[in-house]
Amino acid sequence: MHNQLGRRVLTVLATVGILFASVLAGVASAHGSATDPPSRNYGCWDRWGSDFQNPTMAQRDPMCWQAWQADTNAMWNWNGLYRENLKGNHQGNIPNGQLCSGGRAEGGRYNALDTVGAWQMANKSNRFTLTVTDQARHGADYLLVYVTRQGFNPATQPLGWNNLELVAQTGRYAPAGQYQVSVNAGSRSGRHIVYTIWQASHMDQSYYFCSDVNFTG
């Protein structure tokens, strides 16, 4: 009995240690993401990071559920979805169907973010402010903000470059904790993806974020 109890305690402690190490790894490699509207992995972490083993997620937030099951580190490291040395050739290096994972970034850690389905959406008016949070204060050479074209359905179709329209392009930002850009989505309505590229300034490092939104007019 005592041996069984001891093994259970050790198992629990080991699990806690693994999770704590994952959190520390995320902090140690802290970079950033779109936080409003939230990127897919930031949103999953924000909603479920303190309760990620709760089985009700499978019914309440199924796209996050499949992402957590595929790789928990994609959510703990919500700030690390980037590619290096692409020289600004985003479309040439990120294939259609792989935009949300940054072209299978980090050895495929973020692949589940490309999964087609009804991701939880943030309600937004057609004119809104997009926020990128930069934990490491890398600065930005520019932000590119795309929105899916009206008629594209992210719940049933994989995302490709031809599904996107560039709606905002910025200049440089000095290193700071957040960068914001005003976005005009035009006459779009309903479910869409806002696709953001953040080109960091400290080196040739490109970040890619899919944010699911519902345009309310």
**CA–CA distance, 73 with 106 (Å, rounded to integer):** 11
pTM of the model: 0.87
Q: For residue 37, is it within any domain?
A: yes
Copy the structure tokens of residue 81.
């979805």
Q: Tokens 């890398």 belong to which residue?
A: 138
Q: For residue 25, is it within any domain?
A: no
Domain that holds residue 211: 31-215
Question: pLDDT of 121-152, one tens digit each?
Answer: 999 999 999 999 999 899 999 999 999 999 99
Give me the percent of the chain exceeding a pLDDT of 70.
Answer: 86
Residue 13 pLDDT greater than 80, yes or no = no
Q: For residue 118, is it within any domain?
A: yes
Q: For residue 26, is it within any domain?
A: no
- Which residues, including other chains, have CB under 8 Å from residue 42's CB and lie 6 or more apart? 33, 34, 35, 78, 79, 209
Number of structural domains (the chain) is 1
Q: For residue 6, is it within any domain?
A: no
Copy the structure tokens of residue 143.
């932000």
201 in Cβ contact with 175 (< 8 Å): yes
Q: How confident is the model at residue 30 (pLDDT cuts 50, 70, 90)?
A: low
Question: pLDDT of 61-83, one tens digit each?
Answer: 999 999 999 999 999 999 999 99
Cα-Cα-Cα-Cα dihedral sign, residues 40, 42, 45, 46: negative
Q: For residue 19, is it within any domain?
A: no
Copy the structure tokens of residue 179.
């960068």
Q: For residue 196, is it within any domain?
A: yes
120 phi, psi to nearest 5 deg? -65, 135
Nearest to 186 by CA among 155, 143, 154, 145: 145
Residue 104 pLDDT greater than 70, yes or no = yes
Give residue 58's identity as a one-letter amino acid code.
A
CATH number at residue 134: 2.70.50.50
Which pLDDT value is given to residue 217? 86
Q: For residue 199, is it within any domain?
A: yes
